[in-house]
């Protein structure tokens, strides 16, 4: 079956530091890949997505590249801000809009 | 930007009671979902709904759960006889497959069963 594995948190870093959150997946076929973000007290918001191999999703300074050869979709941001403190979820779906399979989530804490 | 709205934001109920969680999906969306997140655990799929019927459900979605679209705007999740282990955050989502959109989530309802 499909599964998503992402690095455990919390990840604590200082403002302007570089952030990487690792995500690997197991799936049959060619899933679409997503990063969702959950800010404190809020719901899940789509951060970025990629629907085929070598696609790069980007939004708000975050990027992730769909790597089929390593079955990975690592999230990166070059310079984090305190406002980026949140829980980040990697997810996949076998089609671009269907049922999502989520990773466990990674809490990121950015300190001033 | 249109939003998925969920009410209430927090529901406390006693074990064995029935609860109804309410959601108003984005108006032009046709596909609706419920997910739940037990504290500290993964976000888990419960059920998807299209054209007034369940299109897929997980093993979590047993006979104690039901979903309904009672009118043109609301989408509800009912738990008939709550158990302690039903305590979780419940997220509603909707999507518009016609335009290939990803899922849009509400802010969730935190259900606490005592």
Give the model confidence (pLDDT) of A49-60 as tens digits: 998 999 999 999
Average pLDDT of chain A to the nearest whole number: 92
B8 preceded by a cis bond (ω within 30 of 0): yes
Residue A88's pLDDT is what? 97
Q: Is the CB of A105 less than 8 angstroms away from the CB of B42? A: yes
Give B102's contacts in chain A (Cβ within 8 Å). 34, 46, 49, 96-97
Residue B14's pLDDT is what? 97
Q: Is the CB of B102 less than 8 angstroms away from the CB of A99? A: no
Residue A2's pLDDT is what? 85
Q: Is the CB of A46 less than 8 angstroms away from the CB of B56? A: no
Q: Is the CB of B106 less than 8 angstroms away from the CB of A45? A: no
Residue A93 pLDDT level (bands cut at 50, 70, 90): confident
Element (H, E) at A89: strand A86-93
Neighbours of A71 (CB within 10 A): 16
Residue B100's pLDDT is what? 62
Picking from B6, B24, B36, B42 by the largest number of A CB atoms within 10 A of its own CB, the best residue to mutate is B42
Is A107:A87 a contact under the CB 8 Å cutoff?
Answer: yes
The pLDDT of A84-100, averaged and rounded, is: 85
Distance CA(A66)–CA(A51), nearest Å, equals 8
A10 preceded by a cis bond (ω within 30 of 0): yes
For A6-54, the pLDDT digits (tens) are 988 899 999 999 999 999 999 988 899 999 999 988 888 999 999 899 9
Give B108's contacts in chain A (Cβ within 8 Å). 43
Q: Is the CB of B105 less than 8 angstroms away from the CB of A34? A: no
Give A101's contacts in chain B (Cβ within 8 Å). 45
Residue B4's pLDDT is what? 94
Nearest CA to A107 among A22, A3, A12, A5? A12
- The token duo for B104 is 């849009």
Distance CA(A45)–CA(A39), nearest Å, equals 8
Give me the residues of chain B with pLDDT under 50, please.
none
CA A40 from chain centre, in angstroms, equals 17
């Amino acid at each position: 079956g499909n599964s998503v594995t992402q690095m455990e948190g919390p990840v604590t870093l200082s403002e302007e530091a570089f952030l990487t959150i690792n995500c690997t997946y197991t799936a049959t076929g060619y899933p679409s890949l997503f990063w969702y973000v959950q800010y404190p007290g809020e719901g899940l918001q789509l951060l970025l997505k990629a629907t085929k191999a070598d696609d790069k999703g980007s939004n708000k300074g975050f990027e992730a590249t769909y790597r089929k050869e390593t079955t990975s979709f690592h999230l990166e941001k070059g310079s984090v801000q305190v406002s980026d403190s949140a829980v980040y979820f990697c997810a996949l779906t076998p089609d671009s809009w269907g049922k999502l399979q989520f990773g466990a989530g990674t809490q990121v804490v950015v300190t001033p | 930007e249109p939003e998925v709205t969920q009410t209430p934001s927090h529901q406390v109920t006693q074990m064995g009671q029935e609860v109804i969680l309410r959601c108003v999906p984005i108006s032009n969306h046709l596909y609706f979902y419920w997910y739940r997140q037990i504290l500290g655990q993964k976000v888990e799929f419960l059920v998807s709904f299209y054209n007034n019927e369940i299109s897929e459900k997980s093993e979590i979605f047993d006979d104690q759960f039901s979903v309904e679209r009672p009118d043109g705007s609301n989408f509800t999740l009912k738990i008939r006889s709550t158990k302690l282990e039903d305590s979780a955050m419940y997220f509603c989502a909707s999507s518009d497959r016609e335009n290939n959109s990803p899922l849009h989530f509400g802010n969730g309802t935190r259900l606490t069963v005592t």
